[in-house]
Amino acid sequence: MTTTVKTALLSVYHKDGIIEFARGLVELGIYIYASGGTAKHLAEAEIPVHDVASLVGGGAIFGHRVVTLSREVHAGLLAQRTPADEQELADLCIPYIDLVCVDLYPLEEKISKPGVTLAEVLEKMDIGGPTMLSSGSKGQRIVVCDPKDRMPVLEMLRSSLPFDAEFLEHLAAKADYVVSRYRALTAIYRGKGTFTAVHGHQVAQCKYGENAWQKDAALYSRETNDSLALDKFKVVEGTPPSYNNWCDVERLLQTMTHMAAGISAYSSEQPLYFALGAKHGNLCGAKVCGNPAIAIEDMLKGDPLSIFGGLVMMNFPITEKCVQSFSGVMLDGIIAPWFDPVAIQALKRKNGKCRFIMNQALGVPHSHLSLDNAPRFRYVRGGILVQPNYTFVLDLADIRIARYGPPTSVKQEIDMIMAWAIGSTSNSNTITLVKNETLLGNAVGQQDRVGAAELAICRANRSKHALAGAVAYSDSFFPFPDGPETLIDAGVKAILTSSGSIRDQETIDLCSRRGISLYMIPDTVGRGFFGH
């Protein structure tokens, strides 16, 4: 479509770049109205601008708090290009506003501040801005609500080509989205749990969902400042990640951040390198040590059959020195803070089937790998389930933990923390076996606990691991002592579990007779169910 833009209305919170944008509009002969703060900012830069209060009958009121909520502004944004509407605008001396550039006060930051009051939230709650965006969208104007869109819009205006109708519709949709998300913030805050909402914009397209017939799968960003959010991960080589790949990235992040949080109590000044591997949403390899190459090698040896075609995540760069550690293993993806181009060249697969995914935030000291604190949502038919995130971090010094049997070494306690971090971020029911900071077997998603114990041992034996001296973690209590007995018979010397069974004493007595170290935390405190 071809349209002559004559009048623009600017009202922005983010002033960076607005001078250049406004100057570009003026150079195109566009008449600018602006709200008080924006008008002052532009006037100081010697840009011709007119305070929107001059357009409003009676001027600004309530200390400039009510200006743009006027029929003159919204008539200029909602009038249609018809002879009747244009004549009515002329009779009322109201200009047709072709372009509206508005961005909003960062209300989410205000609401998220500890101790914020309702009065403070209401004071910063923008009414005029969202209303102008809604009117501009409904009126099919050029609507700019994102500072990143200012220069592309200016380039479109400068071009002699017809306006890009698809781009303009995208801008209008974005404005509707921004207003919807903004309005939801106060609804959630004021509703105190009565209301919720999920908003996001697409940042990655997946070939399909979990199955090939589930088309139109995509990753959406909720626009957080979380440096470990999935939208902050960049594919530097290989094909786009699949839906299942993204699920594995999420699970690896949960495990790595929990492991880092738990182990931080034992770490020295030396950096610790984490190497984790997952397949179909559960850990099948993990190693923590002071050497990157060894971390990769031992992680991949954890369960070689399961890691085939899986994803691995490290908190250290993948350099040329790491390449040999991946020898003979086929992976769908490698996730790290940084990649040496030589390493990518050596490790990539034909047709880009191995994705190299980078996020520099993974490279911070392990004690700074923050847990995800945002509420978790799950679709259920006709609605959504909402729960707090998995933020419990096991502290073996917790006085609520009951200890039985021989004392444990620091090394065993670190193995317990590793096993807890892996098992409590795997699909329950889970039994996890760890020895020498290395995952030996992870039995997930079992309906009975003794079966999970048998499966964990089977996986460890299949990979030719020596179980003598290993520690075991159970994500909930043992209803019978058969599970612990199965683990002890296989060589396990220490067990971390929860208490809450009417037969807890039988488990305690068994471990006492067999000389096994037993840690029990109340099930109501430390149960590690995950991923139902």
pLDDT on residue 321: 93
Question: Going along 246-315, which residue ranges are E strands?
Answer: 273-279, 282-289, 311-314
Please, where are the H alpha helices in 204-282? 243-263
Selection from 454, 467, 461, 456 nearest residue 432 by Cα: 456
pLDDT tens per residue across span 250-266: 999 999 999 999 998 88
d(CA 176, CA 433): 50
- Tokens 């995800």, located at residue: 372
pLDDT at 68 over 90: no
Which DSSP string do the residues of 90-122 spell out, in sequence order? HHHT-PPP-EEEE----HHHHHHSTT--HHHHH
Give yes or no for a contact between 449 and 457, defined as CB atoms under 8 angstroms apart.
Answer: no
Does CATH number 3.40.50.10490 belong to domain 7-191?
Answer: no
Q: How far apart are CA 313 and CA 328, in angstroms?
A: 18
CA contacts within 13 A on the Cβ side of 16 = 4
Please give the pLDDT value at position 266. Answer: 85
Average pLDDT over residues 78-107: 93
Is domain 394-526 given the CATH code 3.90.1300.10 in the classification?
no
Tokens of 156: 């479109």
Max CA separation in the chain (angstroms): 97
- Report the percent of the chain where pLDDT is more than 70: 98
Mean pLDDT of the chain: 94
Q: Which residues contact 237 (CB under 8 A, 6 or more apart)?
A: 339, 344, 348, 352, 354, 355, 356
Q: What's this model's pTM, rounded to 2 decimal places?
A: 0.91
In this structure, the number of other CB atoms found within 10 A of the CB of residue 82 comes to: 9
Mean pLDDT of 296-316: 96
Separation of alpha carbons 529 and 532, rounded Å: 8
Output the CA–CA distances (angstroms, integers) from residue 79 to 138, 247, 368, in the order listed.
Answer: 10, 47, 54
Rounded Cα–Cα distance for residues 409 and 499 (Å): 22
pLDDT given at position 444: 96
Q: Which residue type sits at 206?
A: C
pLDDT 10s digits, 489-506: 999 999 999 999 999 999
- Asked if pLDDT for residue 1 goes beyond 80, the answer is no
pLDDT at 460 over 50: yes
Q: What is the pLDDT of residues 319-353, one digit of tens each?
A: 999 999 998 899 999 999 999 999 999 999 999 99
Q: Residue 268 pLDDT > 70, yes or no?
A: no
DSSP reduced 3-state for 345: helix
The CATH number of the structural domain formed by 226-367 is 3.40.140.20
Segment 177-222, tens digit of pLDDT: 999 999 999 999 999 989 999 999 999 999 999 999 999 999 999 9
Which tokens sit at 520? 């029990």
DSSP for residue 242: P
Sign for the pseudo-dihedral over CA of 216, 444, 415, 529: positive
User: pLDDT-based confidence at 57, cuts 50/70/90?
Assistant: confident
CA torsion 145→150→153→154, rounded to 10°?
A: 150
Judge whether residue 2 has pLDDT over 60: no
Task: Name the token pair of 23.
Answer: 């100057």
Note whether 7-191 and 394-526 share their fold. no
Give the Cα separation of 55 and 27 in Å (integer): 22
Residue 230 has pLDDT above 60, yes or no: yes
User: 100-114: b or e for each residue (b if 16 or more CB lie within 10 Å)?
Assistant: bbbbbeebeebbeee
Q: Provide the residue type at 422 as one letter.
A: I
Q: What is the pLDDT of residues 363-420, one digit of tens each?
A: 988 888 899 999 999 999 999 999 999 999 999 999 999 999 999 999 999 999 999 9
Domain locations in the chain as residue ranges: 7-191, 226-367, 394-526
The pLDDT of residue 271 is 82
DSSP 396: T
Please determine, for residue 95, whether its predicted confidence score (pLDDT) is greater than 60: yes
pLDDT reported for residue 3: 60
HSE of 374, CA atoms in CB hemisphere, 13 A: 13
